[in-house]
Each structure stands twice: as C-alpha cells, then as structure tokens.
Structure 1
Amino acid sequence: MKAAVLHEYDETLSRDELVRFEDVPEPRIESPTDVIVRIGGAGVCRTDLHVVEGIWRGHAHVTLPYIMGHENAGWIEEIGSAVTGVRPGDAVICHPLVTSGHCLACRRGDDMHAEDSRFPGINADGGYAQYLRSGARSLIRLPSTLSPKDVAPYTDAGLTAYRAAKKASRHLLPGEKAVVIGAGGLGHIGIQVLRALCAADIIVVDRSAASLELARQCGAHETVPADEHGVDRVLELTRGKGAEAVIDFVGEGTAVSQGLAMTRAGGSYYIVGYGGKVEIPTIDMITSEKTIVGNLVGTYAELVELMELADRGLVTLRTREYRLEDANQALKDLHHGRIHGRAVLIP
C-alpha cells in the first residue's frame, strides 16, 4: 500500500520532505479483535508536527521509520475472528486509542488511561496510509449523513475540544462568560460545542483575523485580537472580573499567562494546547481559588456524543483536503498557519 512515512526527526521543521510517500506492507490481522480499516480520511494535527520535531520521543516508544496519523475514519476492510457489531463495508470513525478493555480504567470507560493500549499514529503505525489496523472496540459506525473524510479530525481535535468544552459547560450558567483562546482546528469546534451544551456568552481570543471571522461564524458572541490589549479587552467585557471558564487551545507563548489573567477568582482554566508552562505563585492560587484543569483527548462515550451533535448539524468541521501524496504540503501549511480549520489527507 501507499503511505506517508516518517524516516527521521526534524527539530526545526525546515526540510522540504518531512515524510516520504512510498510503498509499505499492508497491515495484517494480528488478534481476533483486530479490524483493518480502509482509510477515507486522516486528519493532520499539530501533534504530528510535534512528532516530527521529536518532542514525543520520551513519551512514546516508536522505532523509525513509522507512519503518523491518529485522526482516522474510513470503511471496514477486514475483521478478526472474534469481531461482532461491524462488518466489511461499514463506514466507521476510529477512537484514537486501541484498548483491550480488560483493565479497571477501561471498565470505568476511562479509555485514555488504559493500561493495555496502543495509539496508532503516536506509538504505532497510523492512518497516513491506505489501510490502518485498529481494534473492534475502538470503532463507531457512522450514520449515512456523515462521510469518513468529513469527520476524521473529530477523533482527536474534535474529541479533545468536546471533552474540555463539556467539562466547562457543566459549570457555566446562562449569562456567565467563557473565553476560548485559539479559534483554529480545535477552537472552532470547542466554540460550537459550548453553544450546543450551555448558554454562556462566548468570547474568543486569537491573533488571526481569519480565525476570528471563523469564530464568529461558529457562534462566538465577542471576538478579541490576541495583542497587548487582549487581556484588558476581555476584562472589560467581563466587568473587570474575568471569565468563569477559560479554555486554552494554544497552551504556549503568552497564552498561558494571559489565560490565567482572564480567569476570574473561583473560575477554571482548562489547558488543551501544550508546549508552554504554567507558572503561578502558590499564594495566588490560594487567594484566587482558581482551578487548573488538564485535558487528554476523550473517551469512547464522548466520541459517540460528539457524533450525535455532528449528525444533528450542531457541530460542523471546517476542513481542507489534500491527497495523501501531498502530506508534506499539508504539514508545511499547518506549520506556517495557512490552514483555518483542519487538514485532511485523502488516500
């Protein structure tokens, strides 16, 4: 089969060829619960850039060369002998983690902390290819209204945004304020999820005029440029108190300190993007009683919930399609901020 393969790390993301389009062996059924998925769409994520940079070397054990791609959807090609519930030809979306289902975390539905798991595209071959090996318990059948190439990025970008926005929505009352930092591939989904799950006023902060326009199209009530006056503008919109919830889809640069400054006393700051550091004096934590919440992708059940919102048209993805052989262009466009929404590779 054809695949876009990572052969070496590039800390500066400066090489013309970050991945190599080439022939590789097709994945095979290795376990009775395995499923081979013919890829209909593979999302291109900023985490993929971090993988290329080598940031994940100390967190995921892989041997190069290997295939990235952890946002996948397609059609069932082949099933293992113990697989029930799906059959060849079914359109499916793949939860990003493949788990055995045996550990206590799995039995509690806490997929992301499973003890026996693999993460295609992170620590195993992923979906930048024509075929992917996944597991039966990771698959969700798609309704006829949703096409694999249109929903693939929901498996990480959408699911991560949904998990954070869902957490925030449980504590947001009508008329309260929610700030979303970053209206890109994850942020534009988070805005729509907040609109679907709660009645808070949504303020979006981004440095890109195009992203702020996308935020307005997705339902933001107010948009604020992420410049030196951004925090003051948010405080002005929140009567000097800050927002009850701040969801940070950037997580690096000045976004972290500004996000905490935008969070009111007793409010919650949700970290989604990463790369930076949270630095706050302990006395400020005590006197402000702010809550800092980490977010790691999401559960299988949450992906089911998100697909329900997508099926109802309450959440839609803004995508830009690339051929699989153009994976390098997609990665470069993402790195240089030329994609508003999500990029999807189509084999």
Structure 2
Amino acid sequence: MKAVRLHSYGEHPTLDDVPEPKLLGPWDVLVDVGAAGLCRTDLHIIEGQWDPIQHPHLPYTLGHENAGWVREVGSAVHNVAPGDTVIMHPLTSCGLCPACRIGQDSHCENATFPGINANGGMAEIMLTNARAVVKLDPALQPRDIAALADAGLTAYHAVRKAAADLFPGTHAVVIGAGGLGHIGIQSLSAITSADITVVDRSEAALELARELGATHTVLATTDDEVARAVTEFTSGGAQVVFDFVGERGAELLAPRLLRNRGSHYVIGYGGAVNLPTIEIISREINVIGNLVGTYNDLVELMTLTAQGKVTLHTALYPLEAANDAIADLDSGRLVGRGILVPTPVG
C-alpha cells in the first residue's frame, strides 16, 4: 500500500510502498483510511521537536488525524464492525492504567500515538484499537471530519475545560483562527455564552471567524495595537485567552490580553511562555496546558458536528501531494485544514 513516511528529520517525507498492516491482537481494528488531516504538529514532527518526547523509530508513517471505514476487527472487538464509518481518537489507550480509569485517555501510561510514535493514517490502511474508534453516522464523509480527531478535539477540549468560566457577560479571546482556532470559535459559540474576540494576521481568517460567530475581530499588527483593541473590546481584558498559535510571539502577547484572575490556555506550541513570577501572583493569572482531549470529548464534538454546530473548512489533497500540502501549511496559504485522501480528490 501507499504511505507518507518520514525517514529523516528536517527532510521532506516520501510516498513509499509498504506492507499492509495486520491484526496483532484481539482488540485491534484495521481501518481503510478515508482521510488524514494535516496539522502544524506534523511540521514540528518533521523538524524533530517530538523526538525527545516520543522517540519514534524512523522511518514511520505520519498522520494523527484519521477517519475511514472499518476493514477488519480482532476477536474481542464488539463496538464496531467491518464497514462502519469511524473517526479515531489520536491515542490507542490501554484502559487499565490510572489515567485511563478516570477517562484521561491522553495521559495513558501504555498508549501509542499513531502518526507521532507509531505508524499513522497518511496511508491506505491503518492499525488502531477498539478503544480509539468512535462509530459515526454513515452519512458523514471521512474527508469532512478527519481533522476533528486532533485539531477539533484539542480545540474542543480546551473550550470544554474553560466553559464554566465563560458565562454570560464574560469575554474569550482566540489567538489564531486557522485549523485549530476556527473549531475553537465554533465550540465557544456552541457551549458557552461568552463574547468572542478573534486575533489573526490574515484578513481571510478573520472573515471566516466573523462567519463562525466572532463578536469582534482584530488584525494582528503590532502587539501594542492588538492589546489596545482587545482591552477596549473586552472592557479591560478577557477572562480566558485561547492561544492556538503558541509561537512566533503569540505566546508572549496572550498574557497581555488577560484581566486579573484570567486564564491563558496554551494550545499551540513551539515557543516559550515567559512570565515574571511576581506578575503571576500579583494578577492571580493562570497558564493552563492542553493536550489533545478525552474519548468523551471526541464523542461530544461529533455530536455537535452531527447537529451542524461544528464544521471543518478544508482543502483537499491526494496522498501523493502531501509535500504540497505541507508547503501550503508552512507558508500560511491554508485557511482551515489540509486533508490528505488516499483516493483521487474529486
């Protein structure tokens, strides 16, 4: 089968012919991949940023946002059957460790992370397990929802955690209205009552943000100008700032947009938060990390999707054009989410 494989850090992945995966255990599930999302994390993987954390054995297949149709199941699997349309939680969790026992799949002690430390879904077939698959309405097309497996899940997870603080009269600021941020905006609109101010350097992204429910939008020029505009729109700063960029200065701007006792939710990454400790304690502000989301978060997100409250804005690429998609993402030409499909785009 065809698969997009990373052989060396700092080099483009290649489209290789590799053997099809096989069932290895009773809880395994093989999926015919219908679509695989392209994420900024994939850029960081190619750069080697994840090597110290996950230590993947190169070469391996990229792709951690995956959806498709069940091809074959192990002897113990009963929650899905061949032919079912499914989206995959990014991690294949064990169900037995303390984190799994309380539903925190993302922190499973025995998980694999397809596309990051194991073979992923930028291929024709992928191997996952029963705990990772969410059965969907067969009317849903994998290419329309695949990126919700990580970009959508991560954005929803952050909003879900902050929802109790975003009651009527509060303000949320979203930095970055791209692949993650445009899902965050929709999630905020769907499950909170906060006013939403969106900051982005792209006029096209801000136009999309307004269509999706943003109350105010701010073009990212200088930090001082952004801070002044946000302070005005939020009447003194936001209760919550969601940083979907996490690098290139966004992580330094975010705390300036908070009011006292506000929370900076870090979702994008690549930079470094730099806050004087006296500012943290004198303002009583919080910096909160967000890693993917739980299985139940994904189920809730798919419910919102089925209700039409969350939709993905996508650009489709055939599998063999993976490096074109990567270049478009890296250059900022993508608005929404890049999706790789193993069959010709039509």
2:32 counterpart (13, 38, 41): 38
The separation in 2 between residues aligned to 1:44 and 1:238, in whole angstroms, is: 33
Deviation at 1:115, TM superposition (A): 0.7
1:64 counterpart (58, 61, 78): 58
2:259 counterpart (264, 269, 272): 264
Question: Would you say the 8 A contact 1:177–1:202 is kept in 2?
Answer: yes
Ranges in structure 1 where 5+ consecutive residues have no aligned partner: none
TM-score, with length taken from structure 2: 0.97
- Paired residues for 1:268-347 under 5 Å: 268-347=263-342
- Paired residues for 1:235-250 under 5 Å: 235-239=231-235, 241-250=236-245
Partner secondary structure for residue 99 of structure 1: coil
Question: Would you say the 8 A contact 2:89–2:295 is kept in 1?
Answer: yes
Specify the alignment match of 2:249 in structure 1: 254
- Paired residues for 1:18-167 under 5 Å: 18-167=12-161
The separation in 2 between residues aligned to 1:65 and 1:296, in whole angstroms, is: 25
Question: Would you say the 8 A contact 1:145–1:311 is kept in 2?
Answer: no
1:249-300 alpha-carbon deviations (Å, 9 max, x no partner):
0111221221100010011110001111111111111110011110000000
Report the AA paired with residue 341 of structure 1. G
Specify the alignment match of 1:171 in structure 2: 165
Question: Would you say the 8 A contact 2:84–2:138 is kept in 1?
Answer: no
TM-score, with length taken from structure 1: 0.96
Deviation at 1:23, TM superposition (A): 0.7
Specify the alignment match of 2:226 in structure 1: 230
Partner secondary structure for residue 117 of structure 1: coil
The two structures, once aligned, show a CA RMSD in angstroms of 0.9
1:115-166 alpha-carbon deviations (Å, 9 max, x no partner):
1110000000000100000001110001134211111000100000001111
Partner secondary structure for residue 55 of structure 1: coil
2:184 counterpart (164, 185, 190): 190
Specify the alignment match of 1:2 in structure 2: 2
The separation in 2 between residues aligned to 1:344 and 1:253, in whole angstroms, is: 24
Partner secondary structure for residue 163 of structure 1: helix
Ranges in structure 2 where 5+ consecutive residues have no aligned partner: none
The separation in 2 between residues aligned to 1:291 and 1:206, in whole angstroms, is: 23
More deviation, 166-175/190-199: 166-175
Partner secondary structure for residue 131 of structure 2: helix
Question: Would you say the 8 A contact 2:99–2:109 is kept in 1?
Answer: yes
Report the AA paired with residue 222 of structure 1. H
The separation in 2 between residues aligned to 1:141 and 1:147, in whole angstroms, is: 12
The separation in 2 between residues aligned to 1:91 and 1:158, in whole angstroms, is: 18
The separation in 2 between residues aligned to 1:94 and 1:254, in whole angstroms, is: 32
The separation in 2 between residues aligned to 1:85 and 1:201, in whole angstroms, is: 39
Partner secondary structure for residue 298 of structure 1: coil
Question: Would you say the 8 A contact 1:245–1:267 is kept in 2?
Answer: yes
1:218-239 alpha-carbon deviations (Å, 9 max, x no partner):
1101000111111111011122
1:61-91 alpha-carbon deviations (Å, 9 max, x no partner):
2121111000000000011111112111000
Question: Would you say the 8 A contact 1:73–1:149 is kept in 2?
Answer: yes
Deviation at 1:22, TM superposition (A): 2.0
Report the AA paired with residue 268 of structure 1. S
Report the AA paired with residue 236 of structure 1. E
Report the AA paired with residue 8 of structure 1. S
Q: Hey, which bits of structure 1, 4+ residues long, moved more than 6 A?
A: none
